[in-house]
Structure 1
Amino acid sequence: MSRASQCGFLEFMLFAMCSWEGIAAFPNASPLLSPNWGNTDSMLHLYTSSTRNSFHLQIHSSGLVDGSPHQTAYSALVIKSEGAGFVAISGVKSGRYLCMDLNGDIFGSHYFRYEDCTFKHWTLENGYDVYQSPKYHYLVSLGKVKQPLFPAPAFPSSNRRNPE
């Protein structure tokens, strides 16, 4: 290798090494490289309101589920997608899953059972979210009166031909 080609090679390597830091300094903005990409978990506080009072749903370490007028450590919840339109809800501090029994009563459980601890999720036109047990058909509610919600009957399609 001639002296001129060695100098050219060294100049190229020096240039490449110096410019690498400039390239490496710009982070790749692709969402595919983000550790949160595809993470459907979100931490939030579920809030319910009526004309007389309003509460944040909280799951205690004992398994008791009730409401608090203010956000607490026990009202911090994680909602995780369990399939299209279905979610599992768990308490951040208690580590318990929100579950429902056959009477529509909600409780916190250390053990996740898909049938009892998965809820159908809807966002209503007014922006409120509704959660329903697909097994028992009750809505998640902090009230004493439980409301089952059954799908409306499907009407047969009208495919009749008009007589002429």
Structure 2
Amino acid sequence: IHVILNTTSPPSGQSDHVRERHLYTEDKRRGLFLEICPDGVVKGTPIQTENSVLQLRSVRAGETVIQASSSFLYLCANKKGHLWGQRIYTEADCTFKELLLEDGYTLFLSVNHDIPVSLTSKRPPGKHLPPFSRFLPMQNVLHMESGEEKQSEFPMKNKEHLDLDSDDPFGMRLGESVISPAFNLNVPAAR
């Protein structure tokens, strides 16, 4: 018996749930969105673009695959932390541990190399995180009109555009389409 493994797409996850998000990161001077360009270059951009719209898919508990929505390239990292986009999924380079940090940011670590995804090549000595490695998954605020990108009324060029008086300053709310199953339960009143 021969077993054929399909390495061109990630294994289907527990719920095969896909989140479409932009991954926002910042340092003391500027904020950037992770962008996977059609030529495979991964870089940071100060505004949300078509190339920064990403699909985050859980493939196993705590493990995520990140794919560009426009080019379908997978985010990959090597043992030196270099990032690139490639068309064919390989588990060793394109799967990341997704860790939620205490401050609400998310850290993505290469499963194979245990190195954080970062938009900089600078790697501080010791166990310190490199700059631009803590991400906030944010909702897409781009509106597509006749094939062109149009920035919404909520540009994320820097911190001053955040609505800090809102209960959702980063626009991460799931929306009104998410309904808790508990709302539909007929629970008898306590006596």
- With over 3 angstroms needed to count, the CA separation of the structure-2 counterparts of 1:99 and 1:135, relative to structure 1, is same
Match in the other structure for 1:131: 108
Deviation at 1:142, TM superposition (A): 0.1
Match in the other structure for 1:46: 23
Match in the other structure for 2:186: none
> What SS is found at the alignment partner of 1:71?
coil
Deviation at 1:52, TM superposition (A): 1.1
> What SS is found at the alignment partner of 1:46?
strand
Deviation at 1:146, TM superposition (A): 3.3
Structure 1 spans left out of the alignment, 5+ residues: 1-37, 151-164
Question: How many equivalent pairs are there?
Answer: 113
Distance 1:113 1:144 in 2: 22
Aligned residues: CA RMSD: 1.7
Q: Which has the higher strand share?
A: 2
> What SS is found at the alignment partner of 1:138?
coil
Match in the other structure for 1:95: 72
- Do structure 1's residue 68 and structure 2's residue 42 form an aligned pair? no
1:1-164 mapped onto 2 (5 Å cutoff) = 38-146=15-123
> What SS is found at the alignment partner of 1:104?
coil
Distance 1:77 1:148 in 2: 30
% same residue? 35
Distance 2:43 2:32 in 1: 9
Distance 2:56 2:38 in 1: 18
Deviation at 1:148, TM superposition (A): 8.9
- TM-score under structure 1 length normalisation: 0.65
- TM-score under structure 2 length normalisation: 0.56
1:94-124: CA deviations, max 9, x gaps?
Answer: 1100001121101000010001100000111
> What SS is found at the alignment partner of 1:45?
strand
**Higher relative contact order structure (alpha carbons within 8 Å, sequence separation ≥ 6):** 2
Deviation at 1:53, TM superposition (A): 1.1
Deviation at 1:77, TM superposition (A): 0.1
The answer to whether the 8 Å contact 2:16/2:59 transfers is no
Distance 1:83 1:109 in 2: 21
Distance 2:29 2:99 in 1: 24
* Structure ID, larger Rg: 1
Distance 2:64 2:90 in 1: 12
> What SS is found at the alignment partner of 1:99?
strand
Match in the other structure for 1:35: none
The answer to whether the 8 Å contact 1:137/1:148 transfers is no
Q: Which has the higher helix share?
A: 1
Query: AA paired with 1:52?
Result: R
Deviation at 1:74, TM superposition (A): 0.2
